[in-house]
Amino acid sequence: MFWRKKATAGVDQAAKEAYFTASQGQLIWSRFSSNRTAMIAGWALVLMIVMGLFAPFLSPYDPTIAGRDDQYENGAPQLPKFWDENGFSWRPFIYATERERSMATNFRWVITEKRDERLYMQFFTRDWDYKLFHLDYDLPGDAFDIDVALVSSNIHLFGVEGGKIHLFGTDASGKDIFSRTLHAIWTSLAVGTLGVFISFVLALIIGGVAGYFGGWIDSVLQMITDAIRTVPSIPLFMALAAFMPDTWSSETRFFFISIILGLIGWPTLARRIRTHLLTERTQEYVLAAELCGAKPGHIIRRHLLPSFTSYIIVDLMISFPYMVRSETALSFIGLGLKDPVNSLGALMQNVSKADVLLNYQWYFIPVIFFIALVLAFVFVGDGLRDAADPYSDTKK
Amino acid sequence: MGQFIQFVITRATMALITLLTVSLIVFTLMELVPGTCAERYLAFKNTQGSQITIADIEAEERRLGLDRPFPERWGKWVYSVFVHGEFGDSCILRLNINQLLADKFWISLGICMAALILSYAIAVPIGIISASSKSPVTNNSLRFVSYLGLALPNFLLALIIMLIATVYFGESLTGLYSKELRDAPWNLAKFKDFMSHAWLPVFILGWSATAFALQTVRALMLDEIGKLYVTAASARGVSGARLLWRYPAKHSLGPVVNSLGFDLNRIFNELPIVALILTLTEAGALLFESLARSNDQQLAGAIIFLLTASIVALNFATDILLALIDPRVRRGMMG
Q: What pLDDT is stored for residue A2 in this prediction?
A: 47
- Confidence check: pLDDT of B290 > 70: no
CA distance A227 to chain B (A): 5
**Chain A residues within 8 A of B139 when measuring between CB atoms:** none
Tell me the CA end-to-end span of chain B in Å, nearest whole number.
16
CB atoms within 10 A of CB A288: 11
Query: Residue B235, exposed/middle/buried by CB under 10 A (0-12, 13-18, 19+)?
Result: exposed
DSSP B170: -
- Confidence check: pLDDT of B250 > 70: yes
> Of A9-18, B49-58, B83-92, B128-137, where does the model show the most confidence?
B128-137
- Confidence check: pLDDT of B107 > 50: yes
What value does the mean pLDDT of chain B take?
A: 77
Query: Residue A391, exposed/middle/buried by CB under 10 A (0-12, 13-18, 19+)?
Result: exposed
- Confidence check: pLDDT of A235 > 60: yes
Which pLDDT band, with edges at 50, 70 and 90, does B183 fall under? low
Residue of B23, B150, B303 best to disrupt the A interface, most CBs of A under 10 A: B150
Q: What is the rounded CA–CA span in Å between residue B233 and residue B236?
A: 5
Mean per-residue pLDDT, A83-112: 76
**Chain A residues within 8 A of B298 when measuring between CB atoms:** none
Residue B89 backbone phi and psi in degrees, to 5: -100, 150
- Report B:253-312 residues touching A (Cβ under 8 A): 261-262, 265-266, 268-273, 276-277, 284, 287-288, 291-292, 295, 300-301, 303-304, 307-308, 311-312
Whether residue B268 and residue A236 make contact (CB cut-off 8 A), yes or no, is: no
Q: What is the rounded CA–CA span in Å between residue A231 and residue A158?
A: 48
pTM over 0.95: no
> Of A173-187, A227-241, B150-164, where does the model show the most confidence?
A173-187
Mean per-residue pLDDT, A242-262: 78
- Give the whole-number percent of chain B exceeding pLDDT 90: 0
- Confidence check: pLDDT of A127 > 80: no
Mean per-residue pLDDT, A3-8: 47
Residue of B10, B14, B21 best to disrupt the A interface, most CBs of A under 10 A: B21
Min mean pLDDT across A182-196, B146-160, B287-301 is at B287-301
- Give the whole-number percent of chain A exceeding pLDDT 90: 1
Min mean pLDDT across A117-131, B34-48, B261-275, B303-317 is at B34-48
Interface size A-B, in CB pairs within 8 Å, comes to 128
Q: What pLDDT is stored for residue A7 in this prediction?
A: 45
Q: What pLDDT is stored for residue A1 in this prediction?
A: 42
Mean per-residue pLDDT, A312-334: 81
Q: What pLDDT is stored for residue A47 in this prediction?
A: 92
ipTM of the predicted assembly exceeds 0.90: no
**Chain A residues within 8 A of B272 when measuring between CB atoms:** 234-235, 238, 333
Tell me the domains of chain B and their CATH numbers.
Answer: 2-84 (no CATH), 104-333 (1.10.3720.10)
Q: What is the rounded CA–CA span in Å between residue B146 and residue A210?
A: 33
**Distance set, CA A109 to CA A63, A73, A113, A350, B57 (Å):** 23, 9, 13, 20, 51
- Report B:16-45 residues touching A (Cβ under 8 A): 17-18, 21-22, 25-26, 29, 32-34
- Confidence check: pLDDT of B147 > 80: no
Q: What pLDDT is stored for residue A322 in this prediction?
A: 82
- Confidence check: pLDDT of A336 > 50: yes
**Which tens digit of pLDDT belongs to each residue from B199-241?**
788 888 888 888 888 878 887 887 787 788 888 888 888 777 7
- Confidence check: pLDDT of B335 > 50: no
**Which tens digit of pLDDT belongs to each residue from A137-163?**
656 666 666 666 677 777 788 877 777
Nearest to B272 among A224, A231, A234 (CB): A234
Tell me the domains of chain A and their CATH numbers.
Answer: 72-173 (no CATH), 182-395 (1.10.3720.10)
CB atoms within 10 A of CB B182: 12
Tell me the CA end-to-end span of chain A in Å, nearest whole number.
11
Q: What pLDDT is stored for residue A43 in this prediction?
A: 92
Mean per-residue pLDDT, A332-346: 77
**Chain B residues within 8 A of A361 when measuring between CB atoms:** 163, 167
